């Protein structure tokens, strides 16, 4: 490989690092995204330039066109509420592609060793074979696991944990078989062993994700994202490709940190999230609607409460994204601020279905970034709030996380909405949140419920405030 090619690949790798740095803040996120896209484009086009006779060019071009079409379709058509599902698919495709590339590379190593009459380890070295086995197995785990998370979030299957007798034994057995096959890939490699390792990885990925339910699924998506990054990095080592090595390492490291941060925000360990259902500790998903009496009101009553409030805190959640009510909510907040109220948005780390879901949703509505306040910074202010308006959120303000040891979300840090003087919940129905348990805050005397579609109800509240 010519020096200029290596330098170009190095520049692309630096571009990925700068892109990740840019994505760390809202003001630089768009620039960071463009830098990353440009680096990826150059890295993909470079082989067509420096290779003398690239093979299978028509097939490669067809694959690129299909990928571009899918990416454009996803960017334009997928709703914000479906973004976690799309991220899950991207994770899975990345892991699956890395596994297939590793199998092809294994076949190439064996072909060279057969033609030369030497041991495969003499062709590539034992560490390369170990990296190949790792890529095949973990990439397959990421592929099948990501498909299960997609199915759970898309309601193609139950979001509740799926367990069966003997699951721990099957899980441990699959892991043991994977280790044995990986050792065989290094000591006596064959394509057949690689294919069997791939199939074991697919089964292992399914067993890993099936017991996960409810609000834990986005955290598993983040974990699988880290898996995909590690497989891409290992694949980069196998292919001696700097861009894949650096890019995969960045994804693996950032995905791992994100998984740990999300687990901390849930007040649980990653092990508990993955295997909690085996002892009844996982979040359970959908539950039955409550028929207990609550205090409800109309848009006019809520408008009066907000109009005379000096301190208002908004708690956005997944329901806000479903209703696409962020623009109407911003108009209401702008009106309240213009009339002298202090209004902030309280952002819980796991509100919505993915990290940063609420930040992105509200940024889409041009909400000033300084109005978005993280949980740790705003929790002490709830006791001074005249009104807390909860729009489509539930579990992130559920006091059961602090008061009920047996609750699936017990120990999860929450927004202290229960300390406010008045709480207004905007809900479609009395169905519980994603964790599948009732929220006792709904039944408190200081809590008022406004039932209906969030966008429709916020529009009516806005008109009522304007009329006051």
CA distance 284 to 157: 14
Helix 126-153 vs helix 83-116: crossing angle, to nearest 10: 150
**SS3 of residue 391 by DSSP:** strand
Helix 242-266 vs helix 3-22: crossing angle, to nearest 10: 20
Sign, CA torsion 141/144/150/155 = negative
Q: At residue 385, what are phi and psi to the nearest 5 degrees?
A: -80, 130
**Beta-strand pair 423-427/311-316:** unpaired
Sign, CA torsion 305/308/313/317 = positive
Of 170, 145, 149, the residue nearest 158 (C-alpha)? 149
Neighbouring C-alpha atoms within 13 Å toward the C-beta of 70: 10
CA distance 222 to 84: 10
CA distance 275 to 256: 18
- Active-site entry in 52, 291, 376, 395: 395
Name 415's Cβ contacts closer than 8 Å, sequence gap at least 6: 315, 346, 348, 375, 378, 379, 382, 396, 397
Q: Per this entry, what is the length of the chain?
A: 468
**Structure-block tokens of residue 462:** 């806005």
CA distance 253 to 244: 14
DSSP state of 296: B
Cβ-count burial of 2 within 10 angstroms (0-12 exposed, 13-18 middle, 19+ buried)? Answer: exposed
E-assigned strand segments in 173-332: 311-316
Helix (H) or strand (E) segment spanning residue 372 = strand 372-374
- Active-site residue flag, 376: no
Asked if residues 138 and 201 have their Cβ atoms less than 8 Å apart, the reply is yes
**SS3 of residue 27 by DSSP:** coil
CA–CA distances in Å: residue 72 to residues 66, 90, 97, 207, 235:
10, 13, 20, 32, 26
**SS3 of residue 394 by DSSP:** coil
Tally of helices (H runs) and strands (E runs) in the chain: 18, 6
Q: Which active-site residues does the annotation give? A: 395
């Amino acid at each position: 490989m010519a020096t200029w090619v290596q330098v170009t690949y190095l520049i692309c790798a630096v571009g990925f690092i700068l892109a990740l740095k840019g994505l760390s803040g809202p003001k630089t996120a768009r620039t960071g995204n463009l830098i990353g896209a440009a680096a990826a484009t150059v890295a993909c086009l470079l082989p067509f330039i420096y290779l003398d006779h690239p093979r299978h060019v028509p097939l490669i071009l067809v694959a690129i066109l299909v990928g571009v079409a899918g990416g454009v379709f996803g960017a334009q058509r997928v709703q914000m509420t479906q973004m976690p599902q799309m991220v899950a698919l991207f994770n899975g495709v990345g892991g699956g592609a890395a596994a297939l590339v590793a199998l092809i590379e294994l076949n190439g190593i064996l072909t060279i060793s057969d033609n030369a009459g030497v041991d495969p380890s003499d062709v590539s070295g034992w560490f390369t074979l170990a990296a190949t086995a790792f890529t095949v197995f973990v990439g397959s785990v990421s592929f099948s696991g990501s498909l299960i998370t997609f199915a759970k979030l898309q309601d193609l299957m139950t979001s509740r944990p799926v367990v069966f007798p003997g699951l721990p034994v099957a899980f441990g057995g699959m892991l043991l078989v994977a280790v044995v096959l990986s050792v065989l890939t290094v000591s006596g490699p064959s394509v057949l062993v690689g294919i069997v390792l791939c199939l074991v990885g697919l089964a292992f990925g399914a067993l890993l994700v099936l017991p996960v339910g409810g609000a834990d699924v986005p955290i598993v998506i983040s974990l699988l994202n880290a898996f995909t990054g590690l497989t891409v990095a290992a694949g980069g080592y196998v292919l001696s490709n700097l861009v894949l090595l650096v890019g995969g390492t960045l994804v693996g490291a950032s995905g791992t940190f994100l998984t740990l941060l999300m687990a901390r925000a849930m007040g649980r360990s990653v092990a508990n999230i993955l295997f909690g259902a085996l002892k009844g500790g996982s979040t359970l998903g959908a539950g039955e609607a409550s028929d207990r009496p609550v205090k409800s009101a109309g848009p006019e009553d809520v408008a009066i409460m907000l109009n005379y409030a000096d301190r208002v805190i908004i708690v956005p959640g997944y329901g806000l994204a479903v209703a696409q009510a962020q623009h109407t909510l911003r108009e209401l907040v702008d009106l309240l601020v213009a009339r002298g109220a202090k209004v902030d948005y309280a952002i819980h780390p796991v509100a919505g279905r993915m990290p940063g879901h609420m930040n992105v949703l509200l940024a889409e509505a041009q909400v000033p970034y300084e109005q978005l306040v993280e949980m740790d910074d705003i929790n002490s202010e709830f006791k001074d709030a005249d009104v807390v308006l909860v729009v489509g959120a539930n579990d992130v303000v559920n006091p059961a996380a602090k008061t009920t040891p047996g609750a699936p979300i017990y120990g999860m840090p929450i927004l202290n909405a229960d300390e406010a003087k008045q709480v207004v919940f905007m809900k479609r129905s009395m169905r519980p949140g994603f964790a599948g348990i009732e929220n006792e805050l709904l039944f408190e005397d200081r809590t008022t419920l406004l039932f209906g579609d969030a966008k429709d109800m916020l529009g009516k509240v806005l008109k009522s405030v304007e009329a006051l």
